[in-house]
Amino acid sequence: MPPRPSALVTGASRGIGRAIATQLAARGVRVAVHYHQNLAAATATCAALPGTGHAVFAADLGQPDEVTRLWAAVTAAFGRVEVLVNNAGRYAPHPPLTTSLADWRANWQQTLATNLQGPADLALLAAQHMAAAGGGHIVNLSSRGAFRGEPDAPAYGASKAALNSLGQSLARALAPHRVYVYGLAPGWVDTDMAADHLAGPSGPEILAQHPLGRVTTASEVAAAAVFCALDAPPAMTGAILDVNGASYLRT
């Protein structure tokens, strides 16, 4: 029997990341559950995953040395890693007309470090590892904000647009080495992070954007991520899939 494949899922302690980890584990994948601060949630996620061999790893993806340490720890524990899911991200409002220059710069620095540089470094380490081992899959979690803009959090929208470009550049560079790169662009997703917005004054306006009559679920985003990680044909490499319930359509 061939060895079980392994995957690193960043930001897997809750929400979309937890759903991705759960669905990968249900397919027989060993999962490295990454978290930043919430050890209790990451431990609970890991314990609830189907199958055995899963493990928890901590890192601040905004710190380059921690990214390097994370990848080294995961590969030391799991050996070959066939799948990387760059899910972890940071969203912090910084409206352009009400944000001081100091706060503006701080938001840009922190957001780009976590949403772009960290995933880029992990993708580099994963690509070199996967190419040497015969192939693999990288899945980047972007956002519809990469295409329509994020007026209250411009750094977030810019970081996700850059992540899309990174993924497409890597797809072209890595295809000859059987390393395939995909992107997913969700909109609003029904997670605990979105709960206050969905239940607050802006909730009806958010819901009105969605012709399904509801926002996307974490399990729906996870299903798309797992498809890219395990089932998508090589000819789809470089694709960015919208998973937003037709709340934003691009041409």
Helix (H), strand (E), coil (C) string for 141-204: ECCCHHHHCCCCCHHHHHHHHHHHHHHHHHHHHHHHHCEEEEEEEECCEECHHHHHHHHCCCHH
The total number of structural domains that make up the chain: 1
DSSP 21: H
pLDDT at 69 over 80: yes
Query: Could you tell me the pTM of the whole model?
Result: 0.96
- For helices 101-112 and 154-174, the axis angle rounded to 10 degrees is 30
When pLDDT is cut at 50, 70 and 90, the band that residue 95 belongs to is very high
| 208/109 Cα distance (integer angstroms) | 33
The CATH number for 77's domain is 3.40.50.720
When pLDDT is cut at 50, 70 and 90, the band that residue 196 belongs to is confident
Percentage of residues in the chain having pLDDT higher than 90: 94
Q: What is the pLDDT of residue 243?
A: 98
The answer as to whether 248 is a domain residue is no
Q: What is the pLDDT of residue 198?
A: 87
pLDDT tens for 147-192 read: 999 999 999 999 999 999 999 999 999 999 999 999 999 999 999 8
Over residues 19-40, the mean pLDDT reads 98
Q: Which of 35, 91, 156, 182 is catalytic?
A: 156
Residues whose CB is less than 8 angstroms from the CB of residue 187 and which lie 6 or more positions away in sequence, other chains included = 143, 144, 209, 210, 215, 216, 243, 244, 245, 247, 248
DSSP 97: T
Q: Can you give the residue range of the structural domain that contains 86?
A: 6-243
Residue 221, class by beta-carbon neighbours within 10 Å (0-12 exposed, 13-18 middle, 19+ buried)? Answer: buried
What does the block give as tokens for 211? 């012709």
pLDDT at 21 over 90: yes
pLDDT at 2 over 80: no
Verify whether residue 156 is a known catalytic residue.
yes
Mean of the per-residue pLDDT values of the chain? 97
The answer as to whether 249 is a domain residue is no
| 2/18 Cα distance (integer angstroms) | 26
Q: What is the pLDDT of residue 1?
A: 64
The answer as to whether 250 is a domain residue is no
Residues whose CB is less than 8 angstroms from the CB of residue 107 and which lie 6 or more positions away in sequence, other chains included = 92, 94, 99, 153, 155
Q: What is the pLDDT of residue 3?
A: 78
Q: Which of 99, 116, 202 is nearest to 153 (CA)?
A: 99
The answer as to whether 1 is a domain residue is no
| 153/108 Cα distance (integer angstroms) | 9
